[in-house]
Structure 1
Amino acid sequence: MTIPTRNLGTTGPQVSALGLGCMGMSGMYGEADRPEAVHTVHAALEAGVTLLDTGDFYAMGHNEMLVGEALRTAPSHLRDNAVLSVKFGALRDPDGAWLGFDGRPAAVKTFAAYSLQRLGVDHIDIYRPSRLDPDVPIEETVGAVAELVEKGWVKHIGLSEVGPDTIRRAAATAPISDLQIEYALISRGIEREILPTLRELGIGVTAYGVLSRGLLSNHISADRDFAATDFRAFSPRFQGDNFRHNLSLVDSLRKIAEQKGATVAQIAIAWVLAQGSDIVPVIGSRTRERLSEALGALDITLDAADLAAIEEAVPADAAAGERYAPAQMAMLDSER
C-alpha cells in the first residue's frame, strides 16, 4: 500500500500519516515478544510507515535498543527512511517507580548521548522532553535541545504533554515541530485550548493513545486481568465500573464500524486522522497482525454524517475515569 504523508508543523519533517509507537514492545502492557516486535518494525517500514516513536525511559533503555536492533537489521533503503522521535527526561528507579523529570541542560545533553548510543544512529530526528520539569524553565530545556540541533545531533525539537503557556514560551525560544499528546475519541481535552494554540503557531500534533490503551480496539473484554507490570492494571479507566462503562462506548462504536465494513480500532484511528492534516496518530501496534489492522484505517473515508454518528456514539467527555492515576495526572502541564 502507499501511505500518505503529513508535515509535522511548518518547521518539522514530512512523515507517514500514521506513526508506530514502540513503547509497548518493551513490556509496558504486559509481556512482550522481542522477535515479533522487531518483525513488526520491519513490516511497518516496508509498508511505508516512517515515524518511529520511543523514549529513553521505556523499560530503561530497552526500547531504544530494540528499535536500534530493528533499524540495524532492516534493509538500508528502509532504514534510511525512518524518522526517529525520542522522548527524554523521565526519571525511574530499578523497580520502575516514577521519580519525576529532569530538564536541566546538562541532563538533556547527557540523555541525548545515551540515546544516540543505544539507537546506533548519528542523529535523532525529533527530540522532546517527555514532561515539563517544574524546577527548570522550559526555555532552558528547549535551549539545550536547540544547541544539539546546532551541532547536528538533533534535527527537530518537539514537546510532550504541555499546555498553551508552555507551548508559547517554547516556540519563542526555538522552532517547535510538534506536540506529542494523548488524543482519542475518549481523550479530547486538547480541543479546548491546546489544539487552537498549536494551529495558531504552526505546530503539528503526534497523537498517542489513539486506541486508549486498547479500550477502543474491541480486543479487550470486561473479564480481562492485567498483569502487575501492565500500565492498565493501575489506569483509572480500566478499573471496576469505569471499565465497564468505557467498554459500553465500544459497543456503540461497533455498530458504526460494522456499517462501514471496518473494525472498531480502524474507526477510532480514522476519526483521529479526520481531525486535521496537522495530526499524525501514533499507533502502538506490538504485532504484525495489529499493525495490518491499524494500517487499514487509511482506507476508510469518513464523511460529515459518519463523523456526526461517531461523536454521537462516543460524545466528548464520555469516558469514565482520568487517563492517568492521580500522581501522574499531577505531572501533566497539559492538564493544568
Structure 2
Amino acid sequence: MYPAGAPVKPTSLIRLLPRPPVARIRRNVSSVREKVSLGRDKFVVSRQGFGCMGFDAFYFTAQKTSEADAINLVRKATSMGVTHFDTAQFYGNKGENETMLGKALSEISRGSVQIATKGGIGKNFAPDGTPKLVRSSIEASLKRLGTDYVDLFYLARIDTKVPIEDTVGELKLMVQEGKIRHIGLSEASSKTIERADSVHPIAAVQIEWSLFAREFEKEVIPMCRKLGVGIVAYSPLGKGVLAGLFKSSSDIPKGDFRTMVPRLSDKHFDENFAKVQQLVPIAEAKGCSTGQLALAWVHHQGIDVCPIPGTTSEKHLAQNVAALGVELSREEIEKLSSLFPIGSIKGGRYPPGAPTFERN
C-alpha cells in the first residue's frame, strides 16, 4: 500500500503517495500489520500508534477510565498489532498514566513494543529544558514505567530560556547511557528542529496534524523531511471533532481542556463544524466513518508519518485500526485537502500564550 525504499526527501506531499488502481476500503483490516521507520536511525514502530493521554489527562468523559480498563485496552491494542504507545510524565496525577502503561506492558516482551514518553515540564506546567530537570524527570519515568529504557523521549514543549543545544546535549548523554534510545521534540519550530538535530539526530517530531490542523505543513514538515526526521501526528481526529464526537461547543464536558481551545469555542465551532460536515457524504460513499476517512488522510501523507489516535473505547480502537484499510486515490486526497485549506479553520489550536511551535 505504501512505497518502500530510500528515506523521504523534501517534496510535495502528493508525490509521496501511491496511486491505488481502485479507491476502496478493505473491510478485513483488523490489525496493524505494517511498520514505519522514523528518523535516520530507522526507529521502527507500528504504522499506527496509541495515544494514552485520554485515559486520565485533559479530556474528560462522564466516567473516568479505571486503571483496570485502561490496562485491558492497551493489551487489546497490542493484540491488534499496535506496538507504539505514547504517554507523558504529566498525564494523570503524579505520573499515573506512565504507571498504568508500565503495568499494561509488563507481561509483554519489552523488545516487541515501543514506549514513548514526554517531559521537560516544570512548575506551573511551564516548559523546563534545564539539563538537571530533564535528567531527573527521565529517571522518574523509568521507575514508573518499570523499564530500564524508553524507546523515544520527547521534549514536550520547548523552553526558550534554555538553548535547545544544551537540552539535547543532556539527552544525548542519556542515549549513550542507554536510558533512552531515541530523541524527539513536540511542538517545535523548523529552526528549533534544525538546531536540535545538529547536536544529535532527532528521530521524530510530534505535531498536531489532521484535516483540522494543517499549520505545520508550511515549514515544520518540510524541515523534517529535509533532515530525515519522522513525523508523529497527535490529535489526528481533530480532538474528536472529525469523528463526530461533538456537534456543538456545548457538547464538550465542563472541565475538559477542549473548552479552552479557541477553534472549538462558541465563537468558531459552528463555522468549523460546517467544514467537517462536508466529510459525511464522502465517508458514506466509501463505506467508512468520517473519523476513519480523516485518519486515512493522515496515513496517506507519507511513509514517514505515524498517527497516534487515542481512545478509551474498544469499539473506537477497532475503528481506528480499520482506517488503515481505507484507500484513497490521489484525487480523493486532493479533494479532502481542498475542503480544509491551510488556515481555513477559525481560531487557534491552543489558548493564547500557549508554548506552541510558533513561539520557539
Class of the TM-score when normalised by the shorter of the 2 chains: over 0.9
| Identity of matched residues, % | 35
Preserved contact between residue 3 and residue 298 of structure 1 (Cα < 8 Å): no
Are the aligned partners of 2:246 and 2:252 in contact in 1 as well (CA < 8 Å)?
Answer: no
The residue type equivalent to 1:171 in the other structure is: D
Q: Structure 1's 334 and 179: CA in aligned 2 closer, same or farther, altered over 3 A? A: farther
What residue ranges of structure 1 are gaps of 5+ in the alignment? 93-97
Aligned to 2:84: 51
Deviates further, 169-178 or 83-92: 83-92
Matched AA of 2:113: A
Corresponding residue number in structure 2 for 1:218: 244
SS at match of 1:61: helix
Return the match for 1:86 from 98, 117, 133.
117
Q: 2:156 maps to which residue? A: 130
Deviation of 1:313 after TM superposition, in Å, equals 2.8
Alignment check: 8 A CA contact 1:285 1:291 kept: yes
Q: Does 1:332 align with 2:356?
A: yes
- Residues 32 and 48 in structure 2, CA contact (< 8 A), matched pair in contact too: no
Partner Cα distance (1:314, 1:171) in 2: 31
SS of residue matched to 2:154: strand
Is structure 2 residue 63 aligned with structure 1 residue 30?
no
Matched residues in 1 for 2:88 and 2:308: separation? 13
2:40 paired residue number:
10
What TM-score, normalized to structure 2?
0.87
Contact 1:39/1:288 (<8 A) preserved:
no
List aligned pairs for 1:1-336, cutoff 5 A: 1-31=31-61, 32-34=64-66, 35-59=68-92, 60-72=94-106, 74=107, 76-77=108-109, 79-92=110-123, 98-222=124-248, 224-328=250-354, 331-334=355-358
CA distance in 2, matches of 1:7, 1:335: 29
- The amino acid across from 1:13 in the alignment is F
Shift of 1:230: 0.9
Cα displacement string for residues 184-221 of structure 1 (whole angstroms, at most 9, x for unaligned residues): 11211111111111111110100111111101111222
Distance 2:332 2:191 in 1: 34
**d(CA) in 2 for partners of 1:5 and 1:15?**
6
Question: Could you say what secondary structure the match of 2:118 adopts?
Answer: strand
Q: Is the 8 A contact 2:121 2:127 kept in 1?
A: yes
Aligned-residue CA RMSD (Å):
1.5
In 2 relative to 1, CA 107–263 (structure 1 residues): closer, same or farther, beyond 3 Å? same
Larger mean CA deviation between 215-224 and 203-212 belongs to: 215-224
Question: What are the ranges of 5 or more consecutive residues in structure 2 without an aligned counterpart?
Answer: 1-30
What TM-score results when the alignment is normalised by the length of structure 1? 0.93
Cα-to-partner distance string for 1:124-165 (whole Å, 9 max, x where unaligned): 100111111111110111111111111111111111111111
